[in-house]
Amino acid sequence: MHEGKMVELIKLKGIDRSKKDDKVQSVLRPLSITESLATSPQSLTPNPQPPTPNPQSLTPNPQHPNPTPHYWRSLEELAESEDFEELLHREFPERASEWSDPVGRRKFLKLMGGSLALAGLTACTRQPAEYIAPYVRQPEELVPGKPVFYATAMALDGFATGLIVESHEGRPTKVEGNKDHPASLGASDVFSQASVLALYDPDRSQTLTYLGEIVTWSAFLGGIRPAVVAQSAGAAPAQQSGAATAPQQPGAATAPQQPGAAGQSQQQPARSGLRILTGTVTSPTLGHQLKTLLATLPTAKWHQYEPAGCDNAREGSRMAFGQYANTIYQFDKADVVLSLDSDFLSCGSGNLRYAHDFASKRRLSESKRDMNRLYVVESTVTNTGSVADHRLPLRPSEVEGFARELAAAIGVQSARSGSPNGEGRANWIAVLSKDLAAHRGASIVVVGDSQPPVVHALAHSMNQSLGNVGNTVIYTDPVEANPVDGNASLRDLVADMNAGQVDVLLILGGNPVYNAPADLEFADALRKVRLRVHLSLYKDETSEFCQWHIPEAHFLESWSDARAYDGTISIIQPLIAPLYSGKTAHEVLSAVMGEPERSSYDIVRAYWSDRHAAGGQELPVKASVSTTSVSGENQTQPSPARSAQTNQSQPSATRQAKTPSPQFEQFWRKALHDGFVANTALPAKTLSAKSDSATQPPASPRSSSSQLEIVFRADPTIHDGRFSNNGWLQELPKPLSKLTWDNAAIVSPATAASLDLGKRIDQLATNRMGSIGGEILADRIELQYGDRKVTAPVFIQPGQPDNVITVHLGYGRTISGRIGTRTGFDAYSIRISDAPWFGSGLRVAKVGGTYSLATTQSHHLIDASVVGERDILRSQTLDEYSKHTSEGSHQEGGSHHEQSLYPAFAYDGYAWGMAIDLNSCIGCAACVVACVAENNIPVVGKEQVARSREMHWLRVDAYYKGGEQNPETYFQPVPCQQCENAPCELVCPVAATVHSAEGLNDMTYNRCVGTRYCSNNCPYKVRRFNFLLYQDFYTASLKMLRNPDVSVRSRGVMEKCTYCVQRIQRAKIESEKENRQVRDGEIVTACAQACPTEAIVFGNINDHASRVSRLKANERNYSLLGELNTRPRTTYLSAVRNKNSELENG
């Protein structure tokens, strides 16, 4: 059946199979269905005709019924032996020809009848029709089985991170950071790692709908154009009235006028208008498109809202400098860093780069024995606080007072505030100001996005008076195409909607119905808009409220561009054609402006072509004449005539006609190849903080310390909720709580005790563990904030400031998909626009019953003595470390390594090993998701995680040291330790896990019968078992996701980390082709590749010059549970904390 189709297809494509036979074969190879066909004799015979029952067709050359064969296939044929003649003339193989025997006809009919009946039975489970189409022309550079890598970028909250995406036969399967991109430097985060799963998510919106009915794109055009034209009809008089001036000049100059859009609407209060709501836009092309639209349609307005954006930082810069500015920190130059509620290592723009730079300053080696010092003052536990040398938990409202006091101590004139600070903090202020002052020009004060603008302004002043500006702190123009205060912008939009002034609303991405502050009642306001259009990846809460829903193209399917934290522009290029005919924001905007046939490729390329022609400067914005001019004419018909008209009327629209200059082609190719446009980082700008910037009274009245405060934070794994349908991210344990699939109200042990939550163990409130594995039976509380309420489970977290309850955003989605719907609780439902990040006056009431939370690590059990005694996590202060090394290094218990009756196995070739520097690890878990993506690790779901059956081959353990009020926190990534004396290998009854000659502890999945003895005997518990059928073998789109180099494991087998053995093999093959050894650094495991701090180093320990060997020679190197004599190949470098002796008791 398939065969026939394939032959037909090939015929249609006009391939002469007799000539291209080998080609067809090789093209077919990646398509597994065709594999068997390609080897079946019929499809291989050099026969240009489809097979027919006529035996003559098997003769070599049916076109010429010449008895003499032109070609011969074997010597027998040439010899025309009788056997061969017979074989040749037989239609069927010998045994099969019984059917032609007339005596057997009855039997034949009988069997036919029988098989027909059986065929009817099989029809009960209808096989899906699968069509195959081989390449007509083989794409260049595509060798089946060899991945191709393309550069692109992913924007999160507007800010781009450069990526390199691995593509197998046209399917993107794995995302890596782009080494050359300033925001990545080769690293990636959990969101970009998990983005491939989102691409293939079967729950993604797949069709354009109008009121829930599937309609066509042209129907949408027909629907939207009249509305837009109606806008432009009355707009002409207003065109010159300055409406378009504001967005014309990007950057700082426009900032003071913002939100200027509000002003316009006041001028023309009666007019309904077009509104566009986007997230933060840094894309130059999209920005230009939007500005062109605004210039063309003066009644139109553009709003930006980002639920977890950096509005406060933006407003803070405006407060300090009088204009919007972008701040770039250079942590690689900073010796002392103070973070005021900032999680700069894992959140916000540039966090990967910051983590990289921070770690580079922290790394200890034989030659470098000093490290930076990090002070963190924070209102909730974060990764940054966890790796701090000194951490001070403060209530969020107290941070401002702390900042003022510190600023005053540093010598910022305007900072004085009357409020005296709390007990014990005076010491901090004194020590901090001294330490910061001692490192003038080499320190950084960084403030988190959740702190109000005034704290940001204070930090700018502090950095200025510490001489950091220009050294470690750089200011540039804003990265955003049009920086606004998103919160205010959304509020304006809602006000306009409520006032009935919004006629058409285009929501380009985003999910405001779900994530707008609750007090804005966005959904109610939205109902008052006549025409609502929503472009998004998923049919979500907002789609429900919009007539039109357009499926958005995933960034791996779309052309676009975006800027990184420092302004560097990346061209986002697609790796695959849209799976579900999704549209990009560019295309929707273009359609709105009357050019529906322009693809995003045309738009982006044309923009860059023009920009290149203009010398690389941003293009001036001109009103698009075409949009207005069509108003009276055949507006709904995107005819070629009109596009010709466009070409004439607008210089920037002549792009299609114009052939790009060779220089542009070169520029374009280079930009695509490199993953960014060279020299587009924004230049440093000299700005000085206004002296009066911070004199205004404290933004929030200080609440009494007994009052409860609430802190809202973006979730560490699903961010603001946009990743809620991503199973990899849902199942990724949160950095500290190790919760999966849920958010929780996070409280400190003392607060929990006072609220009578959790379970008491020796007066200490802890989480109540369930009995089935990693389950927490959490108390439920009702959080009442203002007059809004939400019920949340409680998680007790050491280190959380007392009387502060942290809730993470992004959960409680009602319409998300099979994965994300109804997980956790909706923290947005109590978030208000006036205080989006924290506030006091929270009331808590205990609600009966418990809620089951699934966690992968149960902290409450772990008292420091157990961890300490077991020598699991070594840590020391820098002083201890320096003393130690000067006294002579203590080699870790190497003595019993040598004690064996037998000679050690000689690893002649490679001996793979890994070293993990605990001093660098920031617990971001990018390695975990990278491992999941690389190794086809399944998602098991919350219930299975609660049963302690998560499948992650690599986990990041977190350990606490010290009191539960403010413990030190350490992260420890634990992959398979690849023990040389592996306890697992000994006990496997079927030799499914064996040692390789390169020291890997290999796992043969096919051989595993699943006794789980290996896991029991593994002291590290890094083996994972498929208790149930966790892999989804049946969802078609997910089949494309899998890494073809790694087996997909089924039910009942054990699986584990093998140091990405597929990557090792690939590199070895390459090196053998070139007849050389694998170079150091040539093999990078998925975890090491993702790591922003380069904490994980992999290599050949037989090569003493390799990085991993050098790390293993370091005196900080130790084996986890080394005394068990498992002799792990993975070793750890102990953590070092740079304590300030003056603050030791702080």
Partner 1 sequence: MSEHTQDSISDSTITPPAVIAPGQTFASVTDKISSIALTRRTPVGWFIGAGISFALVLGLFYTIGYLVVTGIGIFGTNIPVGWAFPIINFVWWIGIGHAGTLISAILFLLRQPWRTSINRFAEAMTLFAVACAGLFPLLHTGRPWLAYWMLPYPNTMGVWPQFRSPLIWDVFAVSTYATVSALFWFVGLIPDLATLRDRARRRTAKIIYGMLAMGWRGSARHWHRYETTYALLAALATPLVVSVHTVVSFDFSIGIVPGWHATIFPPYFVAGAIYAGFAMVLTLAIPLRKFYGLEAFITMRHLRNMSKIMLATGLIVAYGYMMETFMSYYSGNTYERYMILNRFKGPYSAFYWTLIACNVVFPQLLWIRRVRHSVPALWAMSLVVGLGMWLERFIIVVTSLHRDFLPSSWAMYAPTFWDWSMFIGTIGLFLALIFLFVRFLPMISIFEIRGILPQAAVKESGD
Residue numbers at the binding site for partner 1 (CB under 8 A): 769-775, 857-858, 861-862, 866-867, 869-870, 872, 944, 947-949, 955, 957-959, 972, 974, 983, 986-991, 1007-1013, 1015-1017, 1019-1021, 1023-1029, 1051-1054, 1120-1121, 1124
> Is the CB of 268 or the CB of 737 nearer to partner 1?
737
> Is the CB of 136 or the CB of 1029 nearer to partner 1?
1029
Q: How far apart are CA 37 and CA 484, in angstroms?
A: 59
CA-angle at 979, arms to 917 and 969, nearest 5°: 30
**What's the closest the beta carbon of residue 1007 comes to partner 1, in angstroms?**
7
> Is the CB of 614 or the CB of 772 nearer to partner 1?
772
**What's the closest the beta carbon of residue 797 comes to partner 1, in angstroms?**
16
**What's the closest the beta carbon of residue 894 comes to partner 1, in angstroms?**
20
> Is the CB of 303 or the CB of 738 nearer to partner 1?
738
**What's the closest the beta carbon of residue 988 comes to partner 1, in angstroms?**
6
> Is the CB of 456 or the CB of 955 nearer to partner 1?
955
Q: How far apart are CA 563 and CA 541, in angstroms?
A: 29
Sign of the CA dihedral 688, 693, 695, 697?
negative
**What's the closest the beta carbon of residue 958 comes to partner 1, in angstroms?**
8
> Is the CB of 119 or the CB of 861 nearer to partner 1?
861
**What's the closest the beta carbon of residue 1021 comes to partner 1, in angstroms?**
4
**What's the closest the beta carbon of residue 834 comes to partner 1, in angstroms?**
41
Distance of CA 847 to the CA centre of its chain: 36
Task: State the CB neighbour count (10 A cutoff) for residue 215.
Answer: 17
Tell me if 885 sits within 8 A of 1103, measured CB to CB.
no
> Is the CB of 981 or the CB of 1102 nearer to partner 1?
981
**What's the closest the beta carbon of residue 865 comes to partner 1, in angstroms?**
10
> Is the CB of 73 or the CB of 1021 nearer to partner 1?
1021
**What's the closest the beta carbon of residue 554 comes to partner 1, in angstroms?**
33
Helices (H), 600-661: 600-613, 625-629, 640-649
**What's the closest the beta carbon of residue 782 comes to partner 1, in angstroms?**
28
> Is the CB of 375 or the CB of 741 nearer to partner 1?
741
Distances 311 to 48, 305, 308, 488 between C-alpha atoms, Å: 67, 9, 9, 9
> Is the CB of 650 or the CB of 1011 nearer to partner 1?
1011
**What's the closest the beta carbon of residue 892 comes to partner 1, in angstroms?**
17
Q: Convert 969-1005 to b/e letters by CB count within 10 Å (16 or more is b).
A: bbbbbbbbbbbbebbbbeebeeebbebeebbbbbbeb
**What's the closest the beta carbon of residue 382 comes to partner 1, in angstroms?**
20
Q: Which positions ≥6 away from 758 have C-beta within 8 Å?
A: 749, 752, 765, 766, 767, 768, 779, 794, 796
Helices (H), 72-125: 75-79, 82-89, 105-122
Q: How far does the chain reach from its first CA to its final CA, in angstroms?
A: 76
> Is the CB of 12 or the CB of 761 nearer to partner 1?
761
Cis, peptide link before residue 259, omega less than 30° from 0: yes
Q: Convert 63-93 to b/e letters by CB count within 10 Å (16 or more is b).
A: eeeeeeeeeeeeeebeeeeeebeeebeeeee
> Is the CB of 773 or the CB of 1044 nearer to partner 1?
773
> Is the CB of 307 or the CB of 1122 nearer to partner 1?
1122
Distances 1024 to 103, 1012, 1054 between C-alpha atoms, Å: 60, 9, 6
Q: Which positions ≥6 away from 494 have C-beta within 8 Å?
A: 516, 520, 521, 522, 525
Q: What tokens does 920 get?
A: 């660098």
DSSP secondary structure string for all residues of 127-176 = PPP------SSPPTT--TTS-EEEEEEEEETTEEEEEEEEEETTEEEEEE
**What's the closest the beta carbon of residue 1031 comes to partner 1, in angstroms?**
12
Q: How far apart are CA 311 and CA 349, in angstroms?
A: 12
Q: Strand 1117-1118 relative to strand 531-536: parallel, antiparallel, unpaired?
A: unpaired
> Is the CB of 580 or the CB of 1013 nearer to partner 1?
1013
Tell me if 192 sits within 8 A of 570, measured CB to CB.
no
Q: How far apart are CA 511 and CA 523, in angstroms?
A: 11
Q: How far apart are CA 59 and CA 284, in angstroms?
A: 64
Count Cα neighbours of 777 within 13 Å in the Cβ-side half-sphere: 10
**What's the closest the beta carbon of residue 1030 comes to partner 1, in angstroms?**
9
